[in-house]
Each structure stands twice: as structure tokens, then as C-alpha cells.
Structure 1
Amino acid sequence: MIENCKKIFEKNREIIMYLIMGVATTVVNWVTYAVFIRVLSDCSHKVFYSNTLAWIFGVVFAYITNKIWVFESHNWELSFIFKEAGLFLSARIITGLLEIVGVPFLVDTLGFKMPLFGTEGMMAKVLVSVIVTILNYVFSKLIVFKGKKEVAEQEN
């Protein structure tokens, strides 16, 4: 049974690691948000600032974990990192905008207000999150970290 689990993991390693790191990124985002909400308690725009900082922390965490453990991109030359991180950030900005626009669009324009966990519109948030997660994986796989594992193996 353990050998079967190992084979399944190795066959699907990239997707499994992407999902694990995605959960970890979500935790980083939520914890960062909670911390900054408390730190900025006297600020009139604390939600905006806290959410923005949480997004930044989440994207940085996601880049590092995706680079190392998901897509195994081992090139640490500064010029390469700037290019790779720039592509990663660009893709995350696109999907971040999709999330920012998508949830209100589904709720306000299409009437997708069904409550989930007692929160109106949460079903729209979950649906958009699934789409964003899939797009983030596709962008990372096909654009940002394209062929990095094979390049690293050829260099060794």
C-alpha cells in the first residue's frame, strides 16, 4: 500500500505539491491579513491596506514555494530570478484582477448571491477561487516555470 501511495505521489507530484503550497499560501495570506488588521486598527483604510499586504506576502510566499518545491526551478542567478519573478508577478496580477472583478460581477451582475457558511456571495468567491487556482497553475506551468526542471536536470 505504501508503495502504491509513493507511485501515485510521484506520478502526480507536481499537482499535489501545488495544492499543498496553495493551502500554505492561503494560510500565509489569511494570517498576514489578520495581523495587519490588528496592527492597523486605528487606520481608516485598514481593510484595504491589510488585504493588499496579505496579497503581497502571499504572492512572495507562492513564488518561493512554487520555484523550489513545485516546479523545481533551481537557477538562482539574479537576472534569471528577476525575469522569472516578474513573469510570476504579472500572472498573479492578472488572476488577482480576475478575482477582484469576478466576485462582484457574479454577485451583483449575475445574481450569484447564494450563501455558503452563512456568508452571502461566498459561493461566488469559492467559484472564482477555483478558476484563479487553475489559471495560476497553468500560467506557472506553461509560462513562468516552463521546462525549468528539465533544464536543471541537463545542467547536472
Structure 2
Amino acid sequence: MVKHLWNKYKAIIAYLFWGVVTTIVNLVVFQILSPGLHWGVILSTVLAWVAAVLVAYFTNKVWVFGSHYTTVMDTLVEMLRFFFYRGVTLIIDIVITYVGIKMLKFDSPLQQFIVKFIDNVIVVIANYIFSKWLIFRNNRGIER
């Protein structure tokens, strides 16, 4: 029973685990740069995104979706798709961050953290949908 459930949901469990790791990377980098070093909110968001996407690509490729591309061209196309769709969610990330922190004035360190946490939950869900159905769809034997 447990083995059956594990096999059925292992991609989702792995995605959630690595999504938490990626979210932690995003939040830590953002907190260091924006409230910590007083860098701009948007620049801090973009740099936190870059760090998180690098972690996400390799963990998603290997441990979540089991991508088996071995040629340079196939891997490059996959990576470009991954970064493109992560770019789409970066726009979502920037909009939520800007609205929450700049427009709604949630600008104390705790309020910024809460805005970024909520933002990351939305982004992780969107990223899973993009990854499962648009990025890692043609190169593995994982059930849909």
C-alpha cells in the first residue's frame, strides 16, 4: 500500500521537497539582499530568482522528472524551455512583490517576508504545472 502510494506520488513529493529547498534559496537570497543589504526590491527579487532557478533546474531534471536527455542540443532546448517558463513566473513574482511591498506598503522585514512567502507558493504551483506539462514532458517514463 505505502509502496503503491509512493510510486504514484513520488514526482509530486520530490517536487514539493525540492520546491521547499528552492523557496528557501529564494527567500534567503532576497532577505540578504533587500532588507539586509538594502538593495532594491526588484533587483533583489531577480537575483533571488536566478539563484533559485539554477537550483530548481538541476533538481527537477534529475530527481523530480527524471529527464534522460543526453545530447547537448536536447539538453539545451530543455534548459531554454525551463528558463523561459521560469521567466514567465518571474514576471508573476515581480508583480506580486511590487504590489505587496511598494503599492500596499508591506515594507517591514517581516511583512516583506510574508509577501515573498505567499508569492513563492503561487510561483511554485505555476512552475510545477509548466514543468510537468510543458518542459519535461517528452523525455521520461513517468506517468501523468
Tell me the TM-score normalised to structure 2 length.
0.75
- Cα distance in 2 for partners of 1:94, 1:140 equals 12
Deviation at 1:20, TM superposition (A): 0.8
Deviation at 1:11, TM superposition (A): 1.2
Distance 1:54 1:105, change over 3 A: closer
CA RMSD of aligned residues (A): 3.3
Residue among 94, 98, 114 paired with 1:100: 94
| Percent of residue pairs bearing the same amino acid type | 33
In the alignment, which residue of structure 1 is the partner of 2:129? 138
Deviation at 1:77, TM superposition (A): 0.9
How many pairs does the alignment contain? 138
Residue among 79, 85, 90 paired with 1:85: 79
- Cα distance in 2 for partners of 1:31, 1:107 equals 17
Supply the AA of the counterpart residue of 1:79: M
Larger Rg: 1
Is the Cα contact below 8 Å between 1:107 and 1:121 reproduced in 2?
yes
Residue among 93, 96, 118 paired with 1:127: 118
For 1:4-153, what aligned pairs fall within 5 Å after superposition?
4-30=1-27, 45=39, 51-106=45-100, 119-120=110-111, 122-150=113-141
1:20-71 Cα shifts (integer Å, max 9, x gaps): 111122333455567x75xxx6xx8587666544422221111111011111
Tell me the TM-score normalised to structure 1 length.
0.70
- Cα distance in 2 for partners of 1:104, 1:33 equals 13
Consecutive unaligned residues of structure 1, counting only runs of 5 or more, are none
Q: Which moved more, 1:78-87 or 1:119-128?
A: 119-128
1:109-136 Cα shifts (integer Å, max 9, x gaps): 6x595x9xx8236554333322211110
Q: Which has the higher contact order (CA 8 A, sep 6+)?
A: 2
- Cα distance in 2 for partners of 1:25, 1:140 equals 14
Is the Cα contact below 8 Å between 1:63 and 1:88 reproduced in 2?
yes
- Cα distance in 2 for partners of 1:62, 1:91 equals 12
Is the Cα contact below 8 Å between 2:46 and 2:90 reproduced in 1?
no
Distance 1:112 1:5, change over 3 A: farther
Is the Cα contact below 8 Å between 2:93 and 2:120 reproduced in 1?
yes
- Cα distance in 2 for partners of 1:32, 1:123 equals 15
